[in-house]
Amino acid sequence: MNHEVPFPLHEIDIPPATAGLRIVGVHLPLRWADYGLIAFDMDSTLVAIECVDELADIAGCKAEVAAITEAAMQGKLTDYKESLRRRVALLRGVKLSQVDAVVRERMRLNPGVEAVVAACKKAGLRLLLVSGGFTLFTDHIRDRLGFDFVRSNVLEVEGDALTGRLVEQPWGDICDGAEKRRMLEQTCAQLGISPRAAIAVGDGANDLPMMHAAGLSVAYHAKPAVRAQAMVSIEEGGMDRLLELFGR
């Protein structure tokens, strides 16, 4: 499949009400009826933290892990899977009770997320969560927001602590950018719709494959490389800025 947007890109004139949005190759207003699925990244998109970095804080190695995370999200690392394995290895010994504390005390939804999810549900869109993070966190978001489909990684646990390894799943070992795209396309096929009838929302380089496959790509306070390639880039305000682009 061609990863390029299938029409010439041009920046449109943005009305004052949409200041803080960069919009390219999109004809406004958008129509909910044109879409059947919306896919979200989790870390720094739905929630305000990078969960792996917060676990590393508990393990006493946040600076090291956060540096790898930042490089991965900027697209500066060629092997995302290896970078995640390196980070997860440093989490060995973190207790499940400490993971639960991160969920309770540190994991907060970004502004406007609940409004966007509610609008999508009202319009009949199905919700997909695709994350390079971990089921210990995505399960919580799935249940809180009512997602229909989820793909993320499983941390291996022995007793009451993390082992520093990931558990291989039937679909593979790590949900990277390629897997995010694959999951989006598979979910669209399951729903009987084209990927062009999907919206993909993310902030990091590993979100670009699914954003390229979707009919509408949305960058949320994203890394420069992601902002540059997205059709819609929310650069000021909450995620509910996306709703300004849809007709009433």
Supply 229's token pair.
């390639």
Q: pTM of the predicted model, to two decimals?
A: 0.90
120-133 pLDDT, tens digit per residue, is 999 999 999 999 99
Q: Could you give all domains of the chain from N- to C-terminal order, each with its CATH number? A: 16-48+109-245 (3.40.50.1000)
Supply the pLDDT for residue 34. 97
Quick: pLDDT tens for 146-201. Answer: 999 999 999 999 999 999 999 999 999 899 999 999 999 999 999 999 999 999 99
Q: In the structure, what pLDDT confidence band is assigned to residue 72 with cuts at 50, 70 and 90?
A: confident
Give pLDDT tens digits for 189-244. Answer: 999 999 999 999 999 999 999 999 999 999 999 999 999 999 999 999 999 999 99
For the annotated catalytic residues, the residue numbers are 41, 43
Element (H, E) at 126: strand 126-134
Asked if 214 and 195 touch (Cβ cutoff 8 Å), the reply is yes
| Range in 43-47, 115-119, 143-147, 172-176 with the lowest mean pLDDT | 172-176
Give the Cα separation of 55 and 69 in Å (integer).
12
Region 126-143 average pLDDT: 97
